[in-house]
Structure 1
């Protein structure tokens, strides 16, 4: 009977543990929103100030990756800091590979549009780009320059990423080593330069290595048809805020060893967009930029191949400026880029037969990407984020540290305030303007936007798998006939239309949304969800010369119109999507693709007001607005108080019916026909107009915090907890969702001294819950 007694105790413990877990998951608070009342971001102009500020308690966290060297230089007392490790960043060389798309361009010759002068671009020659991989010693950079603070990287993911095992031998296949091969690189670069000279001589140009009197070194020189000569100069844009300065200087020295004259142009964060992404690459004002970015936050790394594709990344510019496209490559006799672009497209489109085919395509795309070397990956950065120990219950990622969407959703401090320092040496928090096409001002804007908006889904901080947030879903993979009662937005007709008979779909995604109010108090409804969806399709397609609702930066989103076969309205919070895009290896990842186009980050009424002022000028100021820099007198900026008046009046015009774009009007009409009540636009637009006027910004969304105050000259942004009763999550919800704990039996309080066969026995034991993550303790 002893075993029966033990079983009773075990069952009793299991019952207690189960009840306890359910109570924790449900939470008991009726308060909604995050666990603290204010979340403040403050810019600091030196890393020392950020580190020491966390140590002294002026700040609770420093959102800048620091190396052990930085802590030592700042004189930090590490015992007063909590160090959160991360390996989220990598450094990569962005290459400007422009040359003329003709026979001269094959030789590396390029005509600058600015002045019509013909110059030679070494990096238009694939072999020279590729030899950068051998010219640099990644092991030296990691061990010596970064003092062990990095991992050599040849691709978008480095050794610590869970998907590394699938592509780790690709660099070996190309003969690349972590320590590089400087002698081989110098030899191959010289051969490529001499071959380029032979090619250029057909057009009256020649290239030779000659003594440069200003440096006393042999440098490569271009001689033009008229006999004029000039050294072939490489302009290297070097970021100065972090390890990229060391890497840039090292690269410059190596390029000088290869015989090039190098201009080291040191730049800061705020100069990146105007000098790189928004500058005309054909003018060759720069050749290499020391780019830093974040590692992919998924086990599925097809984005890795996308980094080498002009369709899915910037090679090297945006906004309709020149890129190294498959068409440009073919004009130079390069057909590799076309194949690479096709592989990237197949991976992004889910056009793979099975998992083996998926990883084979990833490997082939990675191989071709390194071979082309339009981007040269250098190093993955091991670093730390510093946090004050007073911050408790902070959910973070073992790979990405605190730069994810979770920490300030779960963290708690004694005074219910969190102050975060941001390193902004230029005196400005944001790189560029906030709007739905431009983005949210760069990396710091993204950090803030993480908490201002909510998401339909997010990635688990540890597993990186998608988890539901403001939507739940069920995906079935099965070829079905789409019912003719389903609808789809047609950009040519600027209207929702019924799906024609015989339409097929491969995936069915049932979605239920957790709706609530926006920060201004107006309700979120299915009209917002489907207007948001229609907005993407409308702006992605140019259906004629007179189509005003189009922008080239949105054009890449046009695939959603092909992927969605139809949408059925289930009720006021639920829809069924019939789709032909899917990742058979992850139905959750399949759902996220569709959710990203449905769930609005911005209040959709703001999108409509923004587009109004872009299309018709500011109704108050009369100023012409543009989505991007250079498109108008003003670049629309949701964080610029001077733009609020125009947008507020545009909202009122929409509310009065003075502007009813088809993606709004047809969505409202379709929902009413389906029996779904839509909100009163006059009331909703007025509520929103009052909110943005009062708060002097237009970054309005539906997340756990709202922006209450922004003082740009002080680099200060203050967020307050969103306590609206319609917000679906109470303060402890996400903490309990991620909590990792153990139940321990801590001794025996009471137990019988004798166990009699045939009789039950009671044993009283204390049960302790020991939390392992995010903070250890009982």
Structure 2
């Protein structure tokens, strides 16, 4: 647990903070000197384009204990990592200068290395055995972790579904049965571990497991920046109690990343890792979690390529990823079976879902995501501002900077790297931070057509949804790739007999979409859409120098549902995409289909470097070829890319000229490479985006970088300011504490927001689950509205009688149409024999002595 800092240490901490403030412009003096911009006026806001602030300085600060102080004295304006420590939260809550936002999409799990049974160094890996991995679920007391280690800022999590998202709420009754199967049971865990270790040839002497006369050593990789350090120690203690000899490897994010994600797990550098994940947006369909977390298709890194899931789990994961189901019931059936198999597999042991507290200065405002908080917000670049001010400099603290290499193909997926790049790029659609539904950013509208009977719904009115008995794919639609000719193949060439699809998505981009410029000044063109599509196929071609074995599983799934795409019109730009993949929400289908843009001239340098075997887009391929993982912003990659830029300028390089040539202006290659050379000379990096900020400078050694506002960004500065605060339902469940067997019972559910009744039309569902004393599900149903903000749950005498005698629990899950975050409440009551209740009532009356 965190401790108070002694006075001498506090003095040193303040001195360090003062030095940081001087580097950043003087802390509070920085704000007083105008770093917060100029007073806001309606006229100034009306004229402003793009970002509401002029500059964002990202700086690394890993000591959470300093954050409230740095915000208070002006050293930081906002911090990207959510705080889960109760002491720090109280300090933040009581601060006069700081404020905070809440997020619900973070989780903590134990990542398990499944390679074995022996590592390359000869060490035994007990966790190669699925039964031992599964036993960790019974070994870990999730309630203890949530309540004691996280101080109540977390809830137990068992399954590959976030307890904060809608899929869990929909499946709550059936999911609870699976959770009960894996509740804390250390004796069962010990029995399974003992049996499986003996089968591995180990024996236990003096309480310690030995193999070949040597202790069985377990290396636990423990993150040090947050509560995961305490969780790691707790886990290590549990394993020592089970007879293992444990090495505790305490590492920061960057240090740990080099071990668990960037190296071959067969090397034996670790067994278990205290992993953490953040959903950067409300995920309305978590069915692809099975693919992402349990199969090689999830990510290209070596660990994922070592996964070997049960074939049934793999098939279910792949079907859910493709949307291969015909009804909601079939989807739920597949998902439930997949969850059961994932728990048996347990290459991840989920521990808690966290409540994250995102600190900021009280005068600072931004749209944070209900799931991802500040770090996951897609809208922070468009809404970051000082209240009542325009312009200014924001100092943005994050615990880690440049954790992994940046490139647009298979670069860093690290939370804080992605946080920054969201300010540099401009997606065609952006997720609603409170519902997860997508809104247009660079498209004028979309038409979605699905085959009749498929479970797809539309919520927002910027798109249309229609059904059709059959969807035929036009013959001129591009569906495959000819690597030798460097061109797309059509449906007519590949499928002369014709082809059908389950969905058609027609996306119309906003007027002038391709009249914009990249940050280096290069005009956009259709080649910026075509080249990323070509790479989709080229990286899966085994005969191509760009082939990436770690990407192949992902492409195989894509190929099974992809039915082609075509350019319907160039002015306005209209693109049509055909696929057999579906999602429950039509808005998500558009977001998954709509092609985005990436500067072809920057990609061309990376392609050239990978073709020559000098760099690799992905971590896995870099390891296989013993080259650097490509970075456009730092490290040895820059010199290689600079050399290829020189060659590209001399040659007028155009990758796949047969494909791109017809879409390029005559002087485009020369002009693009000239602009990129000027950009690199001025900024010493190759990250060229189209977002509201451009990357002005990168200082890897100093651990800071600077983003500056793009003055001619196409949007008005107030475009996204309609997102203020999420209307999360607040629940109050009340009812009797004791119910007599044979009687009915009634409970009252209050649903409010800001002390006002929650509008009934905004409530999607108010479901209840009734559990008996054994934890078994006794009944479920829907609450009934009886008055504004007031709902009733009634249990009939038969339902009460079925509970037996003892303690029971009533749980409610309320989902709103205004936020995707379900709200939960519970009420505990006892059932007793009718005679006992009567006796107790008589005794109470006698003791009262009558009326007063």
TM over 0.5: yes
**Residues 538 and 546, structure 2, Cα contact 8 Å, conserved in 1:** yes
The structure whose RCO (Cα within 8 Å, separation 6+) is larger is 1
**Aligned counterpart for 1:37 among listed residues 31, 40, 54:** 54
Q: Which residue of 1 aligns with 2:209?
A: 220
Q: Take 2:225 and 2:708, find their aligned partners in 1: how far apart are those partners?
A: 30
Partner of 1:156: 160
Are positions 1:165 and 2:169 aligned together? yes
Q: 1:208 maps to what in 2?
A: 203
Q: Which residue of 2 aligns with 1:297?
A: 282
Question: Which of these residues, 671, 682, 688, is aligned with residue 683 of structure 1?
Answer: 671
Following superposition, the deviation at residue 626 of structure 1 comes to 6.8
Separation in 2, partners of 1:519, 1:129: 48
Partner of 1:481: 472
CA contact (8 A) 2:45 2:717 kept: no
Match 1:86 to one of 75, 82, 103: 103
Mark the CA change 1:667 to 1:652 in structure 2 (over 3 Å): closer, same or farther: farther
Q: Tell me which residue corresponds to 1:758.
A: none
**Deviation (angstroms), 1:439:** 1.5
Partners of 1:624 and 1:299 in 2: how far apart? 37
2:262 pairs with 249, 254, 278, which one?
278
Aligned position for 1:287: 271
The whole-number CA distance in structure 1 between the counterparts of 2:51 and 2:569 is 31
Equivalent pair of 1:51/1:62 in contact (CA under 8 Å) = no
Match of 2:312 in 1: 339
Distance in 1 (CA, whole Å) between partners of 2:233 and 2:67 is: 25
Residues 145-199 of structure 1: CA distance to partner in whole angstroms, max 9, x if unpaired? 11111110012334332322234355644464786112222233223333x15xx
User: Which has the higher mean CA deviation after the structures are superposed, 439-448 or 82-91?
Assistant: 439-448
**Does residue 470 of the first structure (1) align with residue 442 of the second (2)?**
yes
Q: Encode CA deviations 1:281-316: one digit per residue, 9 max, x unaligned.
A: 2233211111011137311111222244223335xx
CA gap of 1:288–1:57, structure 2 versus 1, over 3 A, is: same
**What is the rounded CA distance, in whole Å, between the counterparts of 2:449 and 2:355 in structure 1?**
40
Residue number in structure 2 paired with 1:450: 422
CA distance in 2, matches of 1:349, 1:716: 40
Structure 1 consecutive aligned stretches of length 4 or more whose deviation exceeds 6 Å: 24-28, 72-76, 623-626, 737-742
Q: Which residue of 2 aligns with 1:371?
A: 344
Q: What is the aligned counterpart of 2:391 among 416, 435, 442?
A: 416
Does structure 2 retain, via aligned residues, the 8 Å contact 1:301–1:362? no
Compared CA separation, residues 565 and 508, structure 1 to 2 (3 A): same
* Pairs within 5 Å for 1:260-279: 260-279=244-263
Q: In structure 2, do the counterparts of structure 1 residues 408 and 481 end up closer, same or farther at CA, with 3 Å as the change threshold? A: closer
Structure 1 counterpart of 2:546: 549
Of the structure 1 ranges 45-54 and 641-650, higher mean CA displacement relative to structure 2 is found in 641-650
Question: Which residue of 290, 294, 316 maps to 1:309?
Answer: 294
1:188 to 2:192 alignment: yes
Unaligned runs of 5+ in 2: 1-40, 451-467, 728-752, 754-817, 820-852
TM-score between both structures, scaled by the size of structure 1: 0.78
- Cα shift at 1:460: 0.4
Cα distance in 1 between the residues matched to 2:487 and 2:551: 19
Query: Could you report, residue by residue, the CA deviation over 1:193-213 in whole angstroms, capped at 9, with x for unpaired residues?
Result: 33x15xxxxxxxx321102xx
- Give secondary structure in 2 for the equivalent of 1:422: strand
Shift of 1:443: 2.0
Q: Which residue of 2 aligns with 1:237?
A: 221
* 3-state SS of paired residue (1:734): coil
Q: Could you tell me which residue of structure 1 aligns to residue 701 of structure 2?
A: 713
Q: Is the 8 A contact 1:510 1:575 kept in 2?
A: yes
Out of 648, 654, 677, the position equivalent to 1:660 is 654
Is the Cα–Cα contact under 8 Å of residues 638 and 698 in structure 1 kept in the other structure? Answer: yes
Aligned 8 A contact 1:63 1:402 in 2: yes
Deviation at 1:488, TM superposition (A): 4.1
**1:721-740 correspondence to structure 2 within 5 Å:** 721-724=709-712, 727-736=713-722
The structure-2 alpha-carbon separation of the partners of 1:512 and 1:523, relative to structure 1 and needing over 3 Å to count, comes to farther
Correspondence 1:113 to 2:120: yes
Aligned to 1:752: none
Q: Hey, what's the Cα distance between the residues in 1 that align with 2:593 and 2:639?
A: 34
More displaced 10-residue stretch of structure 1: 477-486 or 274-283: 477-486
| d(CA) in 1 for partners of 2:95, 2:343 | 40
User: Aligned-pair distance for 1:319?
Assistant: 4.3
Equivalent in 688, 691, 701 of residue 700 of structure 1: 688
The verdict on how the C-alpha distance between 1:554 and 1:722 changes in structure 2, with shifts beyond 3 A counting, is: farther
Question: For 1:320 and 1:134, how far apart are their aligned partners in 2?
Answer: 24
Q: Which residue of 2 aligns with 1:323?
A: 306
Query: Against the structure 1 CA distance between its residues 26 and 306, is the aligned structure 2 distance closer, same or farther, given a 3 Å change threshold?
Result: farther
Q: CA RMSD in A?
A: 3.1
Partner Cα distance (1:369, 1:320) in 2: 17
- C-alpha distance in structure 1 between counterparts of 2:242 and 2:94, whole Å: 44
**Structure 2 partner of 1:461:** 433
Which residue matches 1:329?
none
Distance 1:710 1:420 in 2: 15
Q: Which residue of structure 1 aligns with residue 601 of structure 2?
A: 605
Instruction: Name the counterpart of 1:581.
Output: 580
How far apart are the structure 2 equivalents of 1:553 and 1:469?
A: 32
CA deviation string 1:423-455 (max 9, x = no partner): 44xxx6121211234423722211100110111
1:601-655 Cα shifts (integer Å, max 9, x gaps) = x4221111112123237xxxxx767754544554432112764454345345435
Q: Shift of the alpha carbon at 1:668? A: 2.4
Q: For 1:83 and 1:300, locate their aligned partners in 2 and report how far apart those are by CA, in whole Å.
A: 28
1:390 has 2:363 as partner? yes
1:497 equivalent in alignment to 2:489: yes
Distance 1:169 1:222, change over 3 A: farther
* Cα-to-partner distance string for 1:578-621 (whole Å, 9 max, x where unaligned): 412331632222222222xx212x4221111112123237xxxx
Change (3 A) 1:411 1:283: closer
Which residue does 1:259 correspond to in 2?
243
Asked whether the equivalents of residues 151 and 158 of structure 1 are also in contact (C-alpha less than 8 Å), the reply is no
